[in-house]
Structure 1
């Protein structure tokens, strides 16, 4: 347990350093390699803590805390990888501190109710697709928030401070829909593969999760169609992205919170 505590503390410090480095990069033009190095250390430490927290006595434990930490780690990993090719550093002001907080949450909210033995590879594939979809759509939601702030800044006065270093609105919107499109594709695959494991929605406590996931999928489908057919952008794009993401968060974490912490059950 002591090792896990050290790993989590190191994770939080590394992500805090990465967040500060992102700020210096955007505000002062400091070198971005500091962000890459510190975030990389945080990613390694966080996955180490996740391994020690989720693998107990030869069983896989995926409780609310570890699921949230794994989900945040994957979003941070995707951001780190994307940042190697193009400037999306502004997202790090949200994603990296969020990942650090989630790592701490996994330590403070352990759960043994979700322990299982070996999982069949099709179910593992479904879990992997779900995590990847959540990670991409998380980046999309954060991008939507940054885009909304950028629109607000431009309507009030000429850009200043951090906003002068952000890419043009058209570029930011293009990145938003790329993230949503990729996340939607993986979400579609996750829903399709998840349907293979549903025997009884009520007995498996999957009604709310399934319904909300389908509503989220429909939101993103309409948003992508509207973008392609009618050229939706600006407030419509931001609100659609955040609404769909909100439903997705409620589908998984809301359902898991009620089931595990209130009802003492699990999927």
Structure 2
């Protein structure tokens, strides 16, 4: 299989980058952000080739569960590496890199046969904006988890270990809301473009995805409103972020899983 050598390189590099970042957070090794980025870029390059082979087909796009997960994993890593040049978000790689490796295992080992044929430019725009929104909000979820751990440690007066490596609490919260704002703008674009370009967005096989996406939008909108008007932050912001992200996971992957593996729906 042509993708297998690239998959092995990508998986090894992703796991190595994630492991090093984990050890540096635990203060077991020195921080090496340039090394972590380099390993991530090598993995991302191989990941790109795998995505091209897995998704682009002669009769349309293969956008089943495993292909979609691999595409989301690719974009999350790309956004993380790009953002890490300007923002201290590379710590999210502790979760992002291993998860990206898992998506490669899935797409190589269990490729889906679901095909999207006759995709219009408008539908392409909807798909890309949806994946971009999910990617930003997925990074926000990891950032929220780190923020929650930081809050818990500081509350118990544990100021050693990971807490010493993470940016200050206020900076972590600022990064979280910056990510949520970016994700919310893209999610709004994705939902609006869905109503414009997708025929019957509440059709039987799209109703659950649409409703869950709208619920996720409401959760994140409520969080941003609460933060702006009521000063919500800390653990409350963490809980709302994780709840919204969980709703998006159900919308994006839960729906695909049910369609492909329970109802055997083939687009």
**TM-score, structure 2 length as denominator?**
0.94
**What is aligned with 2:215?**
215
Q: Evaluate the alpha carbon distance shift between residue 189 and residue 203 of structure 1 in structure 2; reply closer, same or farther with a 3 A threshold.
A: closer
3-state SS of paired residue (2:115): coil
**What is aligned with 2:199?**
199
CA–CA distance in 2 between the matches of 1:86 and 1:197?
35
**What is aligned with 2:107?**
106
Residue pairs, 1:36-75, within 5 angstroms:
36-57=37-58, 59-75=60-76
CA–CA distance in 2 between the matches of 1:24 and 1:36?
15
CA–CA distance in 1 between the matches of 2:90 and 2:234?
21
CA contact (8 A) 2:122 2:197 kept: no
In structure 2, the gaps of 5 or more residues are none
**What is aligned with 1:20?**
19
| Number of positions where the alignment pairs a residue of Structure 1 with one of Structure 2 | 265
**What is aligned with 1:86?**
87
CA–CA distance in 2 between the matches of 1:234 and 1:104?
35
Q: Give the drift of 1:201.
A: 4.7
Residue 120 (1) aligns with residue 120 (2)? yes
Residue 7 (1) aligns with residue 6 (2)? yes
3-state SS of paired residue (1:71): helix
Residue pairs, 1:149-164, within 5 angstroms:
149-164=149-164
Q: Evaluate the alpha carbon distance shift between residue 229 and residue 60 of structure 1 in structure 2; reply closer, same or farther with a 3 A threshold.
A: same
CA contact (8 A) 1:21 1:34 kept: no
CA–CA distance in 1 between the matches of 2:87 and 2:218?
30
**What is aligned with 1:146?**
146
Cα deviations by residue, 1:144-203 (Å, 9 ceiling, x for unpaired): 100111111111233111220111111100100100011001000000000123433564
| Deviating 4+ runs (over 6 angstroms) | none
Q: Give the drift of 1:58.
A: 5.2
CA contact (8 A) 1:188 1:217 kept: yes
CA RMSD of aligned residues (A): 1.5
Q: Give the stretch that moved more between structures: 208-217 or 13-22.
A: 13-22
CA–CA distance in 1 between the matches of 2:199 and 2:2?
40
In structure 1, the gaps of 5 or more residues are none
Q: Give the drift of 1:108.
A: 1.9
CA–CA distance in 2 between the matches of 1:121 and 1:172?
38
Residue 189 (1) aligns with residue 183 (2)? no
**What is aligned with 2:241?**
241
CA contact (8 A) 1:140 1:176 kept: yes
Q: Give the stretch that moved more between structures: 197-206 or 12-21.
A: 197-206
